[in-house]
Amino acid sequence: MSSQVATRDAPFQLRGANFTMMVLKVGDPRNPNFFPVLAGKIAQAPNFFRNAPVVLDLDDIPAGVPFDFENFCGLLHNLGLIAVGLQGGTKELQDAALAAGLAALPAAKGRAEGFDPLAGTGRSPAQGVHNMQPQSAPEPAAASPAAPPAVAAEPLPYQRSTLIVTEPVRSGRQVYAAGGDLVVVAPVSPGAELLADGSIHVYGTLRGRALAGVSGDRSARIFCQSLEAELVSIAGLYRVSEDMDKSIRRRQVQIFLDNGFLHIDPVAA
Amino acid sequence: MAKIVTMTSGKGGVGKTTSSAAFGTGLALRGFKTCIIDFDVGLRNLDLIMGCERRVVFDFVNVINGEAKLSQALIKDKRVENLYILPTSQTRDKDALSKEGVEKILDELKKEFDYIVCDSPAGIEKGAQMALYFADEAIIVTNPEVSSVRDSDRILGVIQAKSRRAEQGLEPVKEHLLLTRYDLERVEKGEMLKVDDVLEILAIPLLGIIPESPAVLKASNVGMPVVLDDKSAAGQAYADAVARFLGEKVEHRFMKPEKKGFFDRLLRRSA
């Protein structure tokens, strides 16, 4: 009892939490092209990488290769990446990294942590809803639950964040793509609700609601082949169907924010 | 003092939502500030019948969860002054309703409205119980057929046992019978129960008889409460029911076949 009181009065709280982080798999840190190539990659999506925490994966570094962590992390920092930890590697590498202020993380379980797109909706993921598979990673070994961890730990070459739905989204169903885009390759019925932290693409008729950028991403967009939506919203700015211009109904459109206004523009087919 | 009127039936498909829309609109037409609430979480339909589905942004469940203010979720009817609709959520289920949450919203509505019409879902489970718990008056929607009458009898029992008025030993919920889809010709042929048969079993006062009318389906599909169609028999019957509810003496119509001339017979069903 007394300890509980002490905890409540404490000036801090210790809690467990899960974070999704990028893993930077280091092949050969001595390669002179390492940082130029990485810089090119980052230039493709500077906002996504800005001050992003990364975990270094040291498994592929050949034994005996020296690694100056402080210098390496400094160069990463110049690119806007913040190294926070490492995984894998030899004992020597791990000790050196620890000395440089990086935390050793246990090896990742399975592939990049999948998320349940329907978490919190009280529904189990239905058929037709699955996370996008990386093109280079063959499905079988990694997806089999019986596979030993060593096989299952095959890392993704990038952060997977797109949710693909191939079945019609029926009235009353809610699909949420956390941390990324939502692609629906089927019609969306009235009364259905699509949510995404990123953009929403509907290759079919959008008759339900679509809310993109629900965590505040104002650059998110909504694309659909035929607009008959009940409501569309980007980063909290919404428009209901009654307020939509007749000229864009049943048209192929994109919806985006510009100067704080919600635009619904036809897309040339 | 605001009154909470629950439209309920036990059985599905008897016309609760149609009646809620027509009755609520009828009250507003009489100058009472009226709000119709859709309690059928997950099977939202009232907004369609009221023709405001294109204006729904927030809903009843959002307000219960504190995600939106009541004023943001209420939709003002464009045709009738004093009429508001509180739509429900299509993506949630009945568990989203809690007694405390519903009470809070009803208390807030009571400050502003004269009548709050609760459109109950079918069944006798949580959704229906939430819709009837706070009722001051209940309108039991019944079709002239045995299964509907039995279910109405059952829901009357629920009202008498599980409503707040029953639990707190207050004056009991005032019950009214609304007999819908009444088809005189089929009653005459003995294919449907007569008004008297239904009244004998349910033993509650008759608020109105709504004749079977093509105008009802038409009104639903265009999103217009049928009471606004004052040329249709169903529209007139709802207007009568509202008048009786407000204490006026109005004779029941549509109980006996009208004398039909030759041309009426040719043109019948055009009501």
B46 touches B21 (CB < 8 A): yes
What's the pLDDT score for residue A111?
40
**A242: nearest CB among B42, B54, B91:** B54
B57 contacts A231? CB cut-off 8 A: yes
Q: Which residues in chain A are closer than 8 Å to B47, comparing Cβ atoms?
A: none
State how far the Cα of B8 lies from the Cα of B122, in Å rounded to an integer: 7
B55 at A interface, C-beta within 8 A: yes
Return the DSSP state at A188: B
Q: How many CB atoms lie within 10 A of CB A164?
A: 18
- pLDDT confidence tier of residue A269, bands split at 50, 70 and 90: low
What's the pLDDT score for residue A126?
40
Structure tokens at A207: 């008759």
Contacts for A185-192 with beta carbons within 8 Å, 24 or more apart? A186/A128, A190/A230, A190/B53, A191/A230, A191/B44, A191/B90, A191/B91, A192/B90, A192/B91
Q: Can you give the C-alpha Rg of chain A in angstroms?
A: 22
**Total CB pairs under 8 A between chain A and B:** 30
The domain limits of chain A are 22-104, 162-266
Residue in chain A closest to B91 (alpha carbons) equals A172
- pLDDT confidence tier of residue A143, bands split at 50, 70 and 90: very low
Q: Can you give the C-alpha Rg of chain B in angstroms?
A: 18
Residue in chain A closest to B56 (alpha carbons) equals A240
Enumerate the β-bridge partners of residue A133.
Answer: none
- pLDDT confidence tier of residue B271, bands split at 50, 70 and 90: very low
B44 at A interface, C-beta within 8 A: yes
Which residue of A175, A214, A240, A243 to mutate against B (max B Cβ within 10 Å)? A240
**B54: nearest CB among A122, A238, A240:** A240
Q: What is the mean pLDDT of residues A198-203?
A: 96
**A172: nearest CB among B54, B57, B91:** B91
Nearest to A238, CA basis, from B24, B54, B120: B54
Q: Which residues in chain A are closer than 8 Å to B54, comparing Cβ atoms?
A: 230, 240-242
Q: Which CATH architecture has domain A22-104?
A: 2-Layer Sandwich (3.30)
Q: What is the mean pLDDT of residues A53-57?
A: 86
CATH topology of domain A162-266: Pectate Lyase C-like (2.160.20)
- pLDDT confidence tier of residue A120, bands split at 50, 70 and 90: very low
Q: What is the mean pLDDT of residues A177-194?
A: 94
Task: Note which residues in 87-106 of chain B have CB less than 8 A from chain A.
Answer: 90-91, 93
A173 contacts B55? CB cut-off 8 A: no
Q: What is the mean pLDDT of residues A43-47?
A: 76
What's the pLDDT score for residue A135?
39
Residue in chain B closest to A172 (alpha carbons) equals B91
B13 touches B142 (CB < 8 A): no
Q: What is the mean pLDDT of residues A106-124?
A: 44
State how far the Cα of B119 lies from the Cα of A98, in Å rounded to an integer: 64
pLDDT digits (tens, 9 = 90+) for B129-157: 999 999 999 999 999 999 999 999 999 99
A191 contacts B55? CB cut-off 8 A: no
State how far the Cα of B179 lies from the Cα of B171, in Å rounded to an integer: 25
| Top-confidence residue, B163 or A42 | B163
pTM of the model: 0.66
Q: What is the mean pLDDT of residues B178-192?
A: 93
Enumerate the β-bridge partners of residue A211.
Answer: A195, A233
What's the pLDDT score for residue A108?
58
pLDDT digits (tens, 9 = 90+) for B46-86: 999 999 999 999 999 999 999 999 999 999 999 999 999 99
State how far the Cα of A177 lies from the Cα of A220, in Å rounded to an integer: 13
Choose the weakest-confidence range: A76-90, A95-109, B116-130, B145-159: A95-109
Give the angle A180-A185-A188 at the CA atoms, nearest 5°: 90
In sequence order, which residues have a C-beta less than 8 Å from that of residue B54 and are 6 or more positions away? A230, A240, A241, A242
What's the pLDDT score for residue A234?
97
Residue B26 has pLDDT above 90, yes or no: yes
A105 touches A84 (CB < 8 A): no
Nearest to B239, CA basis, from B24, B76, B83: B24
A242 contacts B90? CB cut-off 8 A: no
What's the pLDDT score for residue A16?
74
Structure tokens at B193: 């129960």
- Segment holding B165, helix H or strand E: helix B164-167
A168 at B interface, C-beta within 8 A: no
- pLDDT confidence tier of residue A140, bands split at 50, 70 and 90: very low
Judged by DSSP in three states, B89 sits in coil
Residue B254 has pLDDT above 90, yes or no: no
Q: Which residues in chain A are closer than 8 Å to B121, comparing Cβ atoms?
A: none
**B56: nearest CB among A173, A174, A240:** A240
A169 touches A207 (CB < 8 A): no
In sequence order, which residues have a C-beta less than 8 Å from that of residue A142 and are 6 or more positions away? A110, A111, A151, A152, A154
State how far the Cα of B242 lies from the Cα of B29, in Å rounded to an integer: 10
Give the angle A55-A60-A63 at the CA atoms, nearest 5°: 115
- Edge-to-edge order in the sheet of strand B174-182: B75-76, B83-86, B34-38, B115-119, B3-8, B137-142, B174-182, B206-211
A60 touches A26 (CB < 8 A): yes
Query: Which string of DSSP letters, residue by residue, matches B93-151?
Result: -GGG--HHHHHHHHHHHHHH-SEEEEEPPSSSSHHHHHHHHT-SEEEEEE-SSHHHHHH
Tally the C-alpha atoms within 13 A of residue B71's C-alpha that lie toward its C-beta: 2
**B90: nearest CB among A191, A240, A242:** A191
Nearest CA distance, B59 vs chain A (angstrom) = 12
Contacts for A119-123 with beta carbons within 8 Å, 24 or more apart? A119/A176, A119/A178, A120/A176, A121/A174, A121/A176, A121/B91, A122/B93, A123/A173, A123/A174
What's the pLDDT score for residue A154?
63
Axis crossing angle, helix B126-133 with helix B99-112, rounded to the nearest 10:
40
What's the pLDDT score for residue B138?
97
In sequence order, which residues have a C-beta less than 8 Å from that of residue A243 and are 6 or more positions away? none
The distance in angstroms from the start CA to the end CA of chain A is 68
A240 contacts B57? CB cut-off 8 A: yes
Residue A156 has pLDDT above 70, yes or no: no
Judged by DSSP in three states, B188 sits in helix
Q: Which residues in chain A are closer than 8 Å to B53, comparing Cβ atoms?
A: 190, 230
| Top-confidence residue, A5 or B236 | B236
Residue in chain A closest to B92 (alpha carbons) equals A172
pLDDT digits (tens, 9 = 90+) for B94-135: 999 999 999 999 999 999 999 999 999 999 999 999 999 999
Residue in chain B closest to A194 (alpha carbons) equals B91
Residue B88 has pLDDT above 90, yes or no: yes
Nearest CA distance, A113 vs chain B (angstrom) = 27
Residue in chain B closest to A191 (alpha carbons) equals B90
A192 contacts B54? CB cut-off 8 A: no
Residue in chain B closest to A211 (alpha carbons) equals B57
What's the pLDDT score for residue B144?
95
In sequence order, which residues have a C-beta less than 8 Å from that of residue A139 and are 6 or more positions away? A133
Residue A133 has pLDDT above 90, yes or no: no
Q: Which residues in chain A are closer than 8 Å to B91, comparing Cβ atoms?
A: 121, 172-174, 191-193
Residue A91, phi then psi, degrees to nearest 5? -60, -40
Q: What is the mean pLDDT of residues A156-181?
A: 88
Task: Note which residues in 195-214 of chain A have CB less than 8 A from chain B.
Answer: none
Q: Which residues in chain A are closer than 8 Å to B48, comparing Cβ atoms?
A: none
Q: Which residues in chain A are closer than 8 Å to B93, comparing Cβ atoms?
A: 122
Residue in chain A closest to B93 (alpha carbons) equals A172
ipTM of the complex in this document: 0.71
Give the angle A91-A92-A93 at the CA atoms, nearest 5°: 95
State how far the Cα of B101 lies from the Cα of A68, in Å rounded to an integer: 60
Residue in chain B closest to A175 (alpha carbons) equals B91
A202 touches A180 (CB < 8 A): no
Return the DSSP state at A169: B
Residue A80, phi then psi, degrees to nearest 5? 95, 5
B58, B59, B64, B70: CA torsion to nearest 10: 70
Residue B211 has pLDDT above 80, yes or no: yes
